[in-house]
A and B are shown apart, each in its own frame.
Chain A
Amino acid sequence: MPEPVTFLGRATALVGTHEASAIEMGARTLLKKRDRAAAEFPVMEEMRDRARAIRLHALSNLDRLLGHFADRAEEAGVNVHFAADAEEASATVARILEETGSRLVVKSKSMVSEEIELNEHLEASEIEVVETDLGEFIVQLAGDTPSHIIAPVLHMMRQDVGRLFEEKLGVAYTEDPTELNQIAREHLREKFLQADAGISGVNIAVAETGSVILVTNEGNGRLTTTAPRVHIALMGMERIVSRWEDAAVVLEVLARSATGQRLSVYTNVVTGPRREGEPDGPEQVHVVVIDNGRSEVLAGGTAEILACIRCGACLNACPVFRSVGGHAYGTVYSGPVGSVVTPGLHGMEPWWELPYASTLCGACEEVCPVRIQIPSMLLQLRAQAAEGGRLPGWLEKGMSRYTQTAVSPKKWARAKRWASLLSAPISSKGWIRHLPGPGRGWTDSRDLPRPAKESFTDWWRSNRGS
């Protein structure tokens, strides 16, 4: 379980830092690429609709799909395990590693493994776990955490990486990304070819075929699932669609939304271990299907968030995320999606503040490939927090108009209409600098619906502390 933090505390410490400006730059680049890729694909909007329908259909039939998936996967020779929570999931992985006598484990990027804190769990044993995604490898060497769901070291500059490699890998200092890349490649290639087991995530599974699909650009996902004898795939239980052609639709909108690519470099479809007569591939494939709070989310009012395909576009589009970066959110899932997912998975009590970490500008929903209605879910969570007597201190100060409006979806809808909130010039760049004092009440400023003609400063004067 990640440590609860105050979002505001973290955010305040991050605003205006070198880390925050690196995030701002990186997220903007990614968003630009996404916008270009969406614009050049003539059927992007239809494909988004289709992806949404596919994902919602999968969620409403989730138990059936998971059952099919397990049957088909077992027929293909996969060992399917079901884990109710983080503890059980990690213990299952540890048991498989022990039973297969695995000592060296290579890992390709998996958010769910971070969610269940697998590395920490395995540290206790003698097993060496090596992250192989370049970004995750850097994060692991630095003892840091990822700052973006698809670009883990968005917060670091090349000089940071150069110094880190010099210190941890004993190589001469360089800040040339090509050389840094080469150093990592050589170091990790040896690990891949000697590893006993590979651990991966699952981007999407196919019920009809028992396949798990992993996408990477670097090829580490393929090496992880090809070179070692044992492949263990960790799968959040919602990561599934009915048919192979449904998966293809999801993969197309995923790549475009994440990095502006038409497809990721490697889309790797694994259906069981190496078959009779095959020259290479793993001898064993295990899939661990993980609940860890998801069935509670599915049973509640924010079930739709489980349709998420983890493209990261909503992070890149979010003015709050861009100003503070992923570390402010305190868990593996950051940005708008994280503000809905985290309270759902880990409980409202320590995380009730996250739904307030948003300007409700609507940019997340606009870019989301599966059109998840994030702002309305944030409102719902705020209402829940308010009912539980939870309101951030930075909002209590005279924010009565805000609290009444922002926690009631109906009033909010009305407010949105008259305040033309969505078209309000939310200047995403540097908006924090316009506020009096970096820490105080920075989020509330953008949170409030305001009449279109009123300038932000006027609004601020008349509302702040009144």
Chain B
Amino acid sequence: MDRDVFLARVGRAAMTGLLPTSPEVSASLPELEPADLVGLFRDSLQKVDGVAHGPVSGHGAPVVVSGIASGHGCSTFMAWDDLPAPGVAAELTAEGLERVDHDIEESSRLQHQLGYVPLSLGVTGALAGLADSGSLVLSHGPGRPRMASLVPEVHVALLRVADLDRTLSMWAHNHPGAAAETANLVMVTGPSRTGDIEQQLNLGVHGPRHLHVVLVS
């Protein structure tokens, strides 16, 4: 249907409809008692079956990541190019993990994606962390593939302590342009889960089964 015709019909309907009146959306969000964001983030992440590490210094981060990788017996990994701590990919390669390249040529899209099936580890940064829910905010773009936090069995994210905020609504309020700055912004709250069969919790249904967050001070 033509857009203008469609919208004109909607406009007429909105004018005749009997919607209850409602106050304007106020400029500020309801306030929460202040809290220690690092402690709160750790607790919240644990509640959603994720594991928090650190805070560690940037130099300490590569060892922590490779420790997690060997703990899960990972043999292949994909990593974002610009991580908040240097040397992570080099450390993993030195430990014998094979790095899977993440650039997809349009002509070889299918082959490339099928190659992701045995991927065991994905390492990403994070634009922000949300302490109240234990969430990571991932902003995808050049050098920051979406697949890295999606297809592996294990996802490790490096998060700067300074990038912690309280709730999604507060973060969005402080970053009103965030949604449009990238083609794909994702909030990740714990490992992939389902309760579809008899409400029984199961992790790793389509996405990663394990989520580790390394806090970097």
Residues of A with Cβ closer than 8 Å to B? 22, 25-26, 29-30, 42-43, 46-47, 50, 52-54, 56-57, 59-64, 66-67, 70, 72, 76, 80, 82-84, 88, 132-135, 138, 151-153, 156-158, 161, 177-178, 180-181, 184-185, 188-190, 192-194, 206, 208-211, 217-220, 222-223, 225-227, 229, 237, 243-249, 251-252, 259, 261-281, 283, 289, 291, 295-296, 298-301, 303-304, 373
What's the A-B contact tally at a CB cutoff of 8 Å? 295
| B24 nearest CB across to chain A (Å) | 7
Q: Please name all residues of chain B whose beta carbon is closer than 8 Å to the beta carbon of A26 when the two chains form the complex.
A: 198-199
A261 to B191, CA, bound (A): 13
Cβ of B197 under 8 Å from chain A: yes
Is B193 a contact of A217 with CB atoms below 8 Å? Answer: yes
Stretch at the interface among B52-60, B83-91, B134-142: B134-142
B117 touches A206 (CB 8 A): no
B204 → chain A closest CB, angstroms: 7
Whether A244 contacts B207 in the complex (CB less than 8 A), given A76-B183, A265-B189, A280-B147, comes out as: no
Q: Chain A residue with minimal CB distance to B135? A: A263
Closest Cβ–Cβ distance, residue A433 to chain B (whole Å): 24
Query: Are B106 and A283 neighbours in the complex by a CB distance under 8 Å?
Result: yes
Which residues of B come within 8 Å of A, CB atoms? 1-3, 6-14, 16-20, 22-26, 29-33, 44, 48, 102-104, 106, 109-110, 113-114, 116-117, 130, 132-135, 140-147, 150-151, 167-169, 171-173, 176-180, 182-200, 202, 204-208
A274 touches B198 (CB 8 A): no
State the Cβ distance, A285 to closest chain B Cβ, in Å.
8
Q: Are A269 and B9 in contact (CB under 8 A)?
A: no
**A299 to B16, alpha carbons, bound, how many Å?**
5
- Determine whether the beta carbon of A50 is less than 8 Å from that of B25: yes
Once the chains bind, are B13 and A299 in contact (CB under 8 Å)?
yes
Contact for B206 among A50, A185, A300, CB less than 8 A? A185
**Contact of B191 with A265 in the complex, beta carbons under 8 Å:** yes
Q: Given A206, A279, A300, which contacts B143 in the complex, CB threshold below 8 Å? A: A279
Measured CB to CB, the nearest residue on chain A to B181 is: A271
Contact A151:B179 (CB < 8 A) given known A262-B189, A295-B10, A300-B17: no
Q: How many Å from the CB of B169 to the closest CB on chain A? A: 4
Cβ-defined contact, B17 with A299, below 8 A: yes
- State how many angstroms separate the Cβ of A232 from the closest Cβ of chain B: 16
User: Residues of B contacting A84 with CB < 8 Å?
Assistant: 1, 6
Q: Given known contacts A278-B141, A298-B10, what 12 new A-B pairs fall within 8 Å (CB)?
A: A42-B32, A54-B25, A56-B20, A83-B1, A135-B196, A158-B197, A193-B110, A217-B205, A222-B150, A265-B190, A270-B183, A277-B141
Chain A residue contacts of B113, Cβ below 8 A? 193-194, 227
Q: Is the CB of A229 within 8 A of B109?
A: yes
The residue in B29, B141, B184 that gathers the most chain A C-beta atoms within 10 A of its C-beta is: B184
Closest residue on chain B to residue A77 by CB atoms? B183
| A266 and B19 form a contact (CB under 8 A) | no
Hey, which chain B residues are within 8 Å of A208, CB to CB? 180
A289 to B13, CA, bound (A): 16
Please pick, from B9, B16, B26, B103, the residue contacting A279 in the complex, using a CB distance under 8 A: B103
CA distance A217 to B201 in the complex (A): 11
Known contacts A209-B180, A275-B141; is-contact A63 B14 (Cβ 8 Å): yes
Smallest CB separation, A20 vs chain B (Å): 15
Residue B19 contacts which of A59, A184, A261 (CB distance < 8 angstroms)? A59
Q: Residues of B contacting A178 with CB < 8 Å? A: 202
Query: Which B residues are CB-close (under 8 A) to A30?
Result: 199
Q: Complex Cα distance A64/B26, Å?
A: 20
Q: Are B183 and A273 in contact (CB under 8 A)?
A: yes
Q: Which residues of A contact B135 (CB under 8 A)?
A: 262-263
Residue of A nearest to B23 (CB): A53
Q: What's the Cα separation between A132 and B205 when bound, in Å?
A: 10
CA–CA, A259 to B133, complex, Å? 14
With known contacts A50-B25, A277-B141, A298-B17, A222–B207 Cβ distance under 8 A: yes
Question: Per a CB cutoff under 8 Å, which of A64, A70, A263 touches B168?
Answer: A263
How many angstroms between the C-alpha atoms of A278 and B80 in the bound complex? 12
Min CB distance, A137 to chain B, in Å?
Answer: 9
Task: Point out the residue from A47, A226, A269, A283 that lies within 8 Å of B147, measured CB to CB.
Answer: A226
Q: Which of B44, B141, B146, B200 contacts A177 (CB 8 A)?
A: B200
Q: Which of A63, A185, A265, A279 contacts B7 (CB 8 A)?
A: A63
